[in-house]
């Protein structure tokens, strides 16, 4: 049984994607749900180590046009990122350096209360480099094999003198 390079590429892509999802699912993250009243705030803290990329996900299940203000604070409580969110769900990423406790602070800007689900943590992006390379190699091999397969493919053209 002959295994084509296209199938090998497809297997590499699938294995790499599963590997990345397992790494991301096993990251350290904090999750909390709350209801924010008008002009009130909510904080979640997460312990991080090393240098990597962190993430936050804000979800408003009963979204009706409310706005919330999100700030990411570093170890020294300096603002490293801020954003006004006006959608049902928003995901943001930030770089962190050093060990310590980072904070996401969410403030309600709406006139009514807002139900929130907040997830905050580390992406472990450095551990995703090998499976990312696997996905890249698999994708390139699939593209090259597809090109070689259709390069010599001829499409039949109808006769021009049909009356």
DSSP state of 114: E
pLDDT at 29: 86
**Quick one: tokens of 39?**
């002009």
With pLDDT > 90 as the criterion, what percentage of the chain qualifies? 53
DSSP state of 64: S
102 neighbors 30 (Cβ within 8 angstroms): no
**Quick one: tokens of 2?**
């002959």
70 neighbors 85 (Cβ within 8 angstroms): yes
Phi-psi region of 7 (alpha: psi -120 to 50; beta: other; left: phi over 0): alpha
Mean pLDDT by 10 residues, the chain (163 residues): 88 95 88 89 88 91 89 91 92 89 91 90 90 96 92 71 60
Give the C-alpha separation, 74 to 77, whole Å. 5
The predicted-structure confidence for 39-62, as pLDDT tens digits, reads as follows 899 999 988 888 889 999 999 998
pLDDT at 159: 65
Report the interhelical angle of 5-25 vs 129-151 (nearest 10°): 150
DSSP E strand stretches across the chain = 29-36, 41-48, 51-59, 68-73, 79-85, 89-97, 100-108, 114-122
């Amino acid at each position: 049984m002959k295994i084509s390079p296209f199938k090998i590429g497809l297997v590499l892509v699938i294995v790499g994607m599963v590997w990345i999802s397992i790494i991301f699912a096993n990251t350290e993250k904090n999750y909390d749900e709350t209801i924010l009243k008008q002009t009130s705030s909510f904080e979640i803290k997460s312990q991080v180590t090393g240098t990597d990329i962190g993430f936050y996900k804000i979800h408003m299940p009963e979204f009706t046009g409310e706005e919330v203000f999100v700030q990411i604070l570093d170890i020294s409580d300096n603002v490293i990122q801020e954003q006004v969110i006006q959608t049902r769900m928003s995901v943001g990423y930030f770089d962190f350096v050093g060990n310590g406790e980072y904070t996401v602070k969410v403030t309600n800007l709406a006139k009514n209360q807002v139900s929130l689900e907040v997830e905050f943590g580390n992406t472990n992006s450095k551990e995703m480099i090998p499976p990312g390379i696997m996905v890249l190699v698999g994708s390139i091999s699939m593209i090259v094999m597809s090109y070689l397969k259709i390069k010599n493919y001829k499409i039949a053209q109808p006769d021009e003198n049909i009356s």
